[in-house]
Amino acid sequence: GQQLNQSPQSMFIQEGEDVSMNCTSSSIFNTWLWYKQEPGEGPVLLIALYKAGELTSNGRLTAQFGITRKDSFLNISASIPSDVGIYFCAGQLRRSSGSARQLTFGSGTQLTVLP
Amino acid sequence: DTGVSQDPRHKITKRGQNVTFRCDPISEHNRLYWYRQTLGQGPEFLTYFQNEAQLEKSRLLSDRFSAERPKGSFSTLEIQRTEQGDSAMYLCASSLDLLGRGLGQYFGPGTRLTVT
């Protein structure tokens, strides 16, 4: 089946630093999504990307859909303590009819922000 | 709160017992998904519904698992004869998918199942 490789697995950064994480796939997707999950909670949608090459921002978060459709990255600028959590990428492949299919998730990047 | 809700949030059961979880999606969403997540991993797809029709099931969904969405609104996931390997977080998500234009899947808080 499809596999998503997400890196790094974990990051320890100082408050105020910028963060970058990425996701690569062995096959193409036509939608990329980034989620954040905190302990005991479900993933929360941060950014959705629908077109190859698309660059989208949500506050301090910026994500890009790779041109090859096999990768995506997420940047967080000027990190703050509440950015702590696990960040997941997820790819989605739409059927030829246009209807969406299930998400395939990466294994997550654990982010720790040190004061 | 108009987000996805799940009940119960936690369930502890003995091996061999049956359990049932409920998911209430965002009201205008026509698609409902079930995922399972184990520690240190991302969620893995189990099954999804378009309105009341169950359109796809993962190989992870053994015969002991059954899901329903009888009126196209809430959904239930039942696990029969639970095994210790069923211990996981069970996540429900919903989305609005019209003419192929999806707007992302929104997740509930999950049900944490522990099988002893």
- B73-99 pLDDT, tens digit each: 999 999 999 999 999 999 999 998 776
- Encode chain A (115 residues) as per-residue pLDDT tens digits: 556 999 999 999 999 999 999 999 998 998 999 999 999 899 999 999 989 999 999 999 999 999 999 999 999 999 999 999 999 999 988 766 656 678 899 999 999 999 8
- How buried is A76 (Cβ within 10 angstroms: 0-12 exposed, 13-18 middle, 19+ buried)? buried
Q: Pick A41's closest partner by Cβ from B45, B48, B109.
A: B109
SS3 A55: strand
The answer to whether the Cβ–Cβ distance between B31 and A100 falls below 8 Å is yes
Taking CA–CA distances from A48, the nearest residue in chain B reads B104
**How far, in Å, CA of A67 to CA of B35, rounded?**
29
Residue A35 burial (CB count, 10 A): 28
Among candidates B66, B88, B54, B86, which has minimal Cα distance to B20?
Answer: B66
Higher pLDDT: A18 or B62? It is: A18
Q: What is the 3-state secondary structure (H, E, C) of B37-64?
A: ECCCCCCEEEEEEECCEEEEECCCCCCC
Give A-chain residues touching B58 at CB under 8 angstroms. Answer: 102
pLDDT of B24 above 60: yes
Give the tokens for residue B55: 């359109």
Among candidates B53, B92, B79, B67, which has minimal Cα distance to A99?
Answer: B53
A76 to chain B, closest Cα gap in Å: 20
Taking CA–CA distances from B91, the nearest residue in chain A reads A42
What is the pLDDT at residue A102? 83
**Across the A/B interface, how many CB contacts are shorter than 8 Å?**
70
**How far, in Å, CA of A41 to CA of B77, rounded?**
19
DSSP B21: E
Q: Does B100 touch chain A (CB under 8 A)?
A: yes
Q: Does B36 touch chain A (CB under 8 A)?
A: no
What is the pLDDT at residue B99? 62
